[in-house]
Structure 1
Amino acid sequence: MNYIIGIIGLAVFLLLAWVISSDKKNVRWPYIAIMMVIQFLLAFLLLKTPYGIKFVGWLAKGFSYLLGYAEQGVNFVFAGLENPAIGKTPAASTFFMDVLLPITFISALIGILQYLKVLPFIIKYLGLVISKVNGMGKLESYNAVASAILGQSEVFISLKKQLPYIPKHRLYTLTASAMSTVSLSIVGAYFTMIKPEYVVTAIVLNLFGGFIIASIINPYRVSDEEENEVIMTEEGEKQSFFEMLGEYILDGFKVAIIVGAMLIGYIALIAMLNGIVDAFTPGKMNFQTILGYVFAPLAFLTGIPWSDAVRAGSIMATKLVSNEFVAMLDIQNIVNNKTGELSERAIGIVSVFLVSFANFSSIGIIAGAIKSLNDKQGDVVARFGLKLLYGATLVSFISATIAGFFL
C-alpha cells in the first residue's frame, strides 16, 4: 500500500510542477525519467545496501572527528559560559556551542580546499558529468554541485562575471538549485540533529530533484554558444593563504550568528502564534497543529501513515515558514524524548524533507546575495521568489517520497 501511495504522490508532485510550467509542450520527459531512475538507485544504495550504509557511517564518523576538533576551539573561547540543565530542559547554550559555532571551523576547511583548487576541480568535472544526464547546460550542473558545497548565497560569488549575462530562464534554474540544496559547512550541524543517512540521502536526491522540477517548471535548451561559457573564473588579485583563511573563518562565524538570530526570532514568533491560537482554543490546538492539517494530505502522499500525517505535516510546514533548524528541533525532541508522536518511518521521511533551504527566508537570502553582486538580476530573482520557493518545496516532497520507498 505504501508503494501505491508513493507512486500516486510522485505523480501528484510532478503534476503540481507541470501546472505552472512556462512551456508545457516542451518538457523533456525522457531526461526526467532518467533522473527519477537515478534517484531511486541512489536512495536504494544509501538506505538499503551495506556499501551505502558504510559510506554514510564513514562520513558521519569523519564529521564527528571534525566536530571534536571544533569543540576544542569553542571551549577555549567560551569555557565556563554554558548554563546548567534545569530538569529535563537541556543547557541553554548547548545548541549554540555544539551545533552553530562548529560551522566556523567547517567553513575554514572549505576555504582551504578552495584555495588548494581541490573543490573547483571536483565541482567543474562533476558538473560536466551531470550535464550529460540532465540535458541542461554545464553552468546549471556546475551551480547545483557548487551550491551543495559552497552554500545558496556564496555560490553566486563564483558566478560573478557571468551573472549580468545570464537570462531570466537560466537564472531561475540556478537559484532553484541553490534553494533545493544545503551547504557543506552546515551538514555537520544537521548530523547532530537527525540521522546522517537521512542527511546524505536528501542531499543526493535533491541534487537531481532540483533538475527534475526545474525541467518541468522552466523547460529550455542551451545553445552551443551558451554551453561554451567559462564557468570557473578568477576574480581580482589572488589572496594569500592567511587572507583567505581569515575570510572563510569570519564567513562561517557570520553564518552561525545569522542562523542563531533567525532561530531566536522564528521560535519566538511561533511560540507567540501558538499562544494566540491557544487563547481561542484552550488546550485543544496550536498554530503548528493548524499548519499540520493543511500539510497533512501532502505528507500522506509522501508515504507517511495517515495517523502520523498531521504531526508530520506540522513539522514540514514549520520548516517552510521558518527554517529547517526549527523543524529539526521538533524531530530531535521526538526522538530524544521517545514520545511516540511519529513512527520511525515517518521520522525518516520527514527528516529527508527537512534537508534543504526551501523556506520563505531563503527568498530574501538568495535575492539579497545576487543583488549585492548585480542589482538588476537581484530584482529579477525577487520577482519570481514565490515560484522559486514553490519549486524547491516540490523538490523536497519528491526526495522524501522516494526515500519513503526504502524506509
Structure 2
Amino acid sequence: MHLLHFLLALVVIFGLAVVVSYERKQIRLRYIVQLLVIEIAIAWLLLNSQAGLSIVKSFAGLFDELMGFAAQGTDFVFGNMSKQGLAFVFLNVLCPIIFISMLIGILQHFRILPWLIRIIGTLLSKVNGMGKLESFNAVSSLLLGQSENFIAYKGILGQQSPRRMYTMAATAMSTVSMSIVGAYMSMIQPRYVVVAIILNMFSTFVILSLINPYRPGDEPEIELQELHEKQSFFEMLGDYVLAGFRVAMIVAAMLIGFIALIAALNALFSAVLGLSFQQLLGYVFYPLAWVIGIPSVDALHAGSIMATKLVSNEFVAMLELQKITAQFTPRGLGILSVFLVSFANFASIGIVAGAIKGVSEPQGNVVARFGFRLVYGATLVSLLSAAVVGLVL
C-alpha cells in the first residue's frame, strides 16, 4: 500500500516539476533513478535498521550535548530563567545558535570544513550528474549556512550562467544550516531532522534534474575561498559569535512578525468566512499532504502546517506543530517533520538573493528574478523527501 502511495507521490511531484522545466529534452532519467534508489536505501537504513538507528541516535546525542553546553552560557547570562520555563523559545531554541555558529567557525578556521566539503561534494558529484561546483555548493550550504556559503565561491561566482546560478540558489534554499539544526531538534524529533538533512541533498538534485537539466560541460576551476584566512583565532571567534547572534535575532524578529500576522489573518478570516486563515490553508494543502503519505486523519492539520511553513518559515511551522503534536499519528508526524526541515519559504528568496548580491550584484539580481521558481522547486524537494520517508515508515 505504501509503495502504491509513493508511486502516486512520484507521479504528482515529478509532474509538477516537469511543468516548469527549462529543457525537458535534456532530462536524464538515469541520474534521477540512481539518486532515488540511493535516497530510499538511506532512508530505510536510518529509520529501520539497527545500525542506522544507532547512527541517528549518535548524531542526535551529539547535538543534545552541544545544546547542554550552550545552555550553560545562556543560564549564566539570563540567571537560570530557562530552568523556570521562562522565554523558552528565545533561551532554548535561539540562543544555542550562537554557540553552534562559533563551533562552525572553529571548524572553518582549522580548514576542517573545506576538507569535508571537497570529500562529500566529490562523492556526490559522482551520482548526481550535476558537476563538482553544484555538489560542493550543496554541501557548503549545509555546513556554512545560506548567508556565508556564497563567499566561498566569490572568485568564480560572476562567471556562472543563469542556469547554474539557479541550481546553486536552489540547493541553498532546499537544505538547512548546521548552525540551527540544534534549534530544530528542540522542537521536533531529532531523528527526523537528521534524516531530512541527508535526504534533502539527494532530493534537491532529483528535482533540479527535472526543472533545470543541463550538462555541466567544461567547469571553471573550483577553488573554495577561505573565509577567515587572514584572521587570528580570536578574531574569527568574535565574528562567528556575532554572526550567530545576528541569526538568532533575525529568527526572533521573523517569529514575532509572522506569528502576529498569522494571528491577525486568523481573526480576519474567521470573522469574514467562519474559517481561520490556517484552516483555509489546510484545505488547500490537504491533497499534497495526503499524496506524500500523511494519513487522512492527519492531512488537514498537516496541510495547514505545511502552508504555514511556505508563507512564513519553518520555525513558525514547527512551533505550530508542537501545539498539536499529540493529535498526530506517529506516521503522519514523521512525514510532516521531514517536510518542515528546509528553508523552502518566500522569506528565503530575499536571504539567498541578498547573500549572492553581496558577492556579485549582477548575479544576485539574476537569482532574485528566479524567486517564485526557487520556492516552487525547493517545496517539491521537501515533498519528495517526505514522500520517501512515507515509503519506509
The Cα shift of 1:366 comes to: 0.5
Query: Which secondary structure does the structure 1 equivalent of 2:392 belong to?
Result: coil
Q: Does 1:12 align with 2:2?
A: no
The offset of 1:81, in angstroms, is 5.2
The question of 1:278 aligning with 2:264 is answered no
TM value normalised by structure 1: 0.94
Q: For the Cα contact (< 8 Å) 1:3–1:303, is it kept in 2?
A: no
Q: Distance in 2 between matches of 1:243 and 1:80?
A: 29
Shift of the 74–163 alpha-carbon distance from structure 1 to 2, 3 Å rule, reads: same
Q: 2:311 aligns with which of 298, 321, 330?
A: 321
- Give the corresponding residue for 1:88: none
- CA distance, structure 1, for counterparts of residue 185 and residue 57 of structure 2: 11
Q: Report the equivalent of 2:202.
A: 208
> Which residues of 2 match residues 106-145 of structure 1 at below 5 A?
106-145=100-139
The ranges of structure 1 where at least 4 consecutive aligned residues each deviate by more than 4 angstroms after the TM superposition are 80-84
Q: Residue 311 of structure 1 corresponds to which residue in structure 2?
A: 301
Q: Secondary structure at the match of 1:153?
A: helix
Whether the 8 Å CA contact 1:8–1:301 is kept in 2: the answer is: yes
Deviation at 1:238, TM superposition (A): 1.3
Question: Structure 1 residues 248 and 271 mapped into 2: Cα distance closer, same or farther (>3 Å)?
Answer: same
- The equivalent position to 1:267 in structure 2, one of 253, 259, 267, is 259
Q: Which amino acid aligns with 2:215?
A: R
Q: Which residue of 2 aligns with 1:87?
A: none
What value does the CA root-mean-square deviation take over the aligned residues?
A: 1.4
- Tell me which of 347, 350, 356 is aligned to 1:361: 347
Amino acid in structure 2 at the alignment position of 1:74: T
Q: CA deviation at 1:200?
A: 0.8
* Cα-to-partner distance string for 1:230-266 (whole Å, 9 max, x where unaligned): 2313468611111111101100010000000000000
Which stretches in structure 1 are left out of the alignment for 5+ residues?
85-90
Cα distance in 1 for residues equivalent to 2:308 and 2:295: 19
Deviation readout 1:111-141 (Å, 9 max, x if unpaired): 0011111111010111011111111110000
Counterpart residue number, 1:199: 193
Report the count of equivalent residues. Answer: 393
> How far does the alpha carbon of each residue in 1:179-231 deviate from its partner, in whole angstroms, 9 at most, with x for none?
0000111001111111111111111110011111111111111123x1x5123
SS at match of 1:223: coil
Compute the displacement of 1:12 (Å): 1.0
Whole-Å separation in 2 of the counterparts to 1:119 and 1:80: 34
The one-letter code sitting in structure 2 at the alignment partner of 1:259 is: V
Pairing partner for 1:401 from 381, 387, 390 = 387
Taking a change above 3 Å as real, the CA distance of residues 83 and 114 of structure 1, as seen in their structure-2 partners, is closer
The question of whether the paired residues in 2 share the 8 Å contact of 1:139 and 1:231 is answered with no
Instruction: Check conservation: 2:75, 2:81, Cα contact below 8 A.
Output: no
Q: Which residue of 2 aligns with 1:105?
A: 99
Q: Secondary structure at the match of 2:146?
A: coil
Distance in structure 1 (CA, Å) of the matches to 2:228 and 2:305: 44
The answer to whether residue 158 in structure 2 is matched with residue 168 in structure 1 is: no
Q: 1:376 to 1:61 in 2, by over 3 A?
A: same
Give the drift of 1:153. Answer: 2.0
CA distance, structure 1, for counterparts of residue 155 and residue 115 of structure 2: 19
Tell me by how many angstroms 1:46 deviates: 0.7
| Cα distance in 2 between the residues matched to 1:405 and 1:101 | 36
Contact 2:82 / 2:92 at 8 angstroms: preserved in 1?
no
Contact 1:83–1:93 (CA<8 Å) still a contact in 2?
no
C-alpha distance 77-304 of structure 1, shift in aligned 2 (>3 A): same
**Alignment correspondent of 2:376:** 390
Deviation, 1:281, is 4.2
- The range that moved more, 178-187 or 300-309, is 300-309
Counterpart among 299, 302, 318 of residue 289 in structure 2: 299
User: Which has the higher mean CA deviation after the structures are superposed, 370-379 or 388-397?
Assistant: 370-379
Aligned-partner Cα distance in 2 for 1:41–1:292: 31
CA contact under 8 A between 1:44 and 1:406: conserved in structure 2?
A: yes
The answer to whether the 8 A contact 2:312-2:347 is kept is yes
Taking structure 1 as reference, are residues 81 and 201 closer, same or farther at Cα in structure 2, changes over 3 Å only?
closer
Please give the alpha-carbon distance, in whole angstroms, between the structure 1 residues aligned to 2:193 and 2:144: 17
Does residue 1:243 correspond to 2:235, yes or no? yes
Q: Please list every run of 5 or more consecutive structure 2 residues that lacks an aligned counterpart in the other structure.
A: none
